[in-house]
Amino acid sequence: MWLQPIIGLTGEDFHVKNQIIIFFYKRYMKTSKLILTVFLCLGIPVLTIAASEPLIQNVPGRNTSSLNGKWNYIIDPYETGYYDYRYMPYDESPAPSNGAFYLDKKQADKTELIEYSFDKSPTLWVPGDWNSQDNRLLYYEGTIWYRRTFDYKKADASNRVFLHFGGANYESDIYLNGKKLGKHIGGFTPFNYEITGFLKSEGNSLVVKVDNKRKREAVPTLNTDWWNYGGITRDVTLVEVTSTFIQDYLVGLKKGTENEITGYVRLNGPTMQQKVRISIPELKITSEVTTDSTGKATFIFKPKNLVRWDPEHPKLYQVELTCNDRKVTDNIGFRTIETRGNDILLNGQPIFLRGICIHEENALRGGRAYSAQDAQMLLNSAKELNCNYVRLAHYPHSESMIRLADKMGILVWEEDPVYWTIQWDNPATLSNALQQLTDVITRDKNRASVIIWSMANETPVSEARTGFLKKLATRARELDNSRLISAALEIHGNPANPNERIVEDPFAEFVDIVNFNEYVGWYDGLPDKCDQIEWNIKYNKPVMISEFGGDALQGMHGDNRTRFSEEYQEDLFARTVKMLSKIPQFRGVSPWILYDFRSPKRMLPNIQDGWNRKGVICQNGNKKKAFYVLKDFYDQMELKYKH
């Protein structure tokens, strides 16, 4: 009986059909295999929701229109708007609904029952998190539906249009004019869909269901030590391109060379074999390549007088790629990064990475950082510390942050959000982690500032975990063999010697730099314990400390044994840098963290109040005493490594 309402549904009812399938799958779990068999026999497509399409490289360098601004929203903790029961028989379903929210229905006349209205709903700014924009949503984890209407006329009838999202946390279902474009999973990576066939010149309705619920199988998983900001947190953009266009490209120095620029270009469209012109005017390079039947072509240049990018002289060259008279312009720096023995070599010269960890948060307003202005504030503060390097934790940050690092001459660690303990044996979890890693490498592979791809943070050692991380490292090297691979590894003590700390994580064999987090003096004794610690690190590789630190409430004072006082944190920093400097392979450090940041795990009244206080700068912008200890150390290391 319940099959009757869905047999014969086609066309615009396709996604209604999928939701009915989901409903019956949940309702009749014991007979789900039989139901699915019946659907397949009837030729009914089951859950054929498209994943996001291959990423378009360098969206800022394209012909774009912004959809940022005020979007109407509906809070939907029960996900009422996801299902459409209009076709359900009354005896087999809940009370019939008036249509799913993605249809963005309007009341045709006063007799029609419609129980939602985007037009009458409040608004949220996009990009932006919902937690900091509405007090009701501070701790909210669940579904919110966004709606934006817009008109759009193409510059040429033959052009194609893509809808691009810089990021939305965590799962997003995208609908345009009632048609589902797809689902994206992952809160910090970009995604795009072609909308050419769905677009209208007037009255387009774009509906986005965003769900930030934490899940055991997700990446990251349930337990994190940062705020779970929900929403469309990065730019939303329409990208107009020609029918065949340059979708992806790579331009960089070939590994192992000093002046050999190599790369590729890849087309998307009906005419894959075409001429593409690559030009770097300042280097007097202009060349044409012809793509093959897959739309790909490679190239190699050997320019004279190439100025390489480094933190002191972040030289960027304008690179132009042209196909069908449509030019894509990018600003790219050329540099090498490698390791040799215990050293990290930038452009062949040893470098000490003077770093700091950063969360993607504007602490001054207490919300997710998303704009170029936010990135400028954060990186300016890192520069004040005399940093030449930042660790962007614990997930991919916005593209504006990476591009600004290129301009400012700041080296960058980017991290896949494999955090603490996730489901190592779950193939879907691995697939998710691999996809997020692939997306961030695809987006940022042309950025000179990025030197480290990090696979994970503080993951307890097990055979399954190490195998999982090895698969990530293999994927990273397949996509980009020009950068370094690392992770925040595990350390442990020695029962026979309470002062010994041993680094022997099995994944250390597969990384280029041995990184680990240590909290001697905070979670492990008092600051004076740093004076007794002995490090046992047997790898002939550079060693970096990806985190150290302790909490301090700015303005709270006491002696150097008073927890949460500035003096305690100050003493801890002073003793820690002395301790770490005794490690022979020590080549860099990124203390935890630049600014205090929100965390629901930090609940001590009148001190934490929902904030992790390990920043060297308070959320009001005031510097703590530890800031100056760290800056003095970095000034000394800069002189030591001056070329």
Amino acid at the residue 439 = D
Domain closes at, from 198, 215, 241: 241
One domain, residues 187 and 218: yes
Structure tokens at 87: 């076709």
| 534/498 Cα distance (integer angstroms) | 9
Question: Which tokens go with 489?
Answer: 């590894």
Would you say residue 380 lies in a domain?
A: yes
Q: Indicate if 159 and 268 belong to the same structural domain.
A: no
Q: Please indicate, yes or no, if residue 573 is contained in any of the structural domains.
A: no
Considering the domain boundaries, does residue 419 fall inside one? Answer: yes
Residues 375, 476, single domain; the answer is: yes
- 550 in Cβ contact with 614 (< 8 Å): yes
- If you search the block for the tokens 């060259």, which residue do you land on? 317
Please classify residue 582 by burial: count the beta carbons closer than 10 Å to its beta carbon, then call 0-12 exposed, 13-18 middle and 19+ buried. Answer: exposed
The CATH number of residue 513's host domain is: 3.20.20.80
603 within domain boundaries: no
Does one domain contain both 454 and 504? yes
C-alpha distances in Å from residue 135, one per residue of 129, 131, 182: 12, 7, 30
Domain endpoint, select from 241, 262, 280: 241
State residue 196's pLDDT score: 97
- The Cα 458–Cα 286 span in angstroms is 47
Q: Does 285 fall in a domain?
A: yes
d(CA 435, CA 311): 30
Q: Could you tell me how far CA 643 lies from the centroid of its own chain?
A: 34
Distance CA(174)–CA(185), nearest Å, equals 11
353 and 277 both lie in a single domain? no
Residues 2 and 32 in one domain: yes
Is the domain of 127 the same as that of 193? yes
Residues 109 and 190 in one domain: yes
Inside any domain, residue 13: yes
- State the CATH number of the domain containing residue 331: 2.60.40.10
| The pLDDT value given to residue 193 | 98
Helix or strand or coil: residue 389?
Answer: strand
In a 10 Å sphere around its CB, with 0-12 CB exposed, 13-18 middle and 19+ buried, how is residue 526 labelled?
Answer: middle
In a domain, 526, yes or no: yes
Domain boundaries, position 309: 245-335
Q: Splitting the chain (643 residues) into consecutive groups of 10 residues, what average pLDDT does each group show?
A: 36 39 39 39 38 86 97 95 58 56 92 92 98 95 98 96 98 96 97 97 98 97 96 98 97 92 97 96 96 97 95 98 93 98 97 98 93 96 98 97 98 97 97 97 98 97 98 97 97 94 96 98 97 96 98 98 98 98 97 97 96 97 98 97 80
Q: What is the CATH number of the domain that holds 190?
A: 2.60.120.260
The number of distinct structural domains making up the chain is 4
510 and 365 part of one domain: yes
pLDDT of residue 586: 98
Q: Indicate whether 102 and 169 sit together in one domain.
A: yes
Long-range CB contacts for residues 569-572, cutoff 8 Å, separation at least 24: 569/624, 569/625, 569/626, 570/624, 570/625, 570/626, 570/629, 571/527, 572/521, 572/522, 572/527, 572/530, 572/626
Residue 569 is assigned to a structural domain of this protein: no
Residues 315 and 451 both lie in one domain: no
- Chosen domain end from 277, 309, 335: 335
172 and 316 both lie in a single domain: no
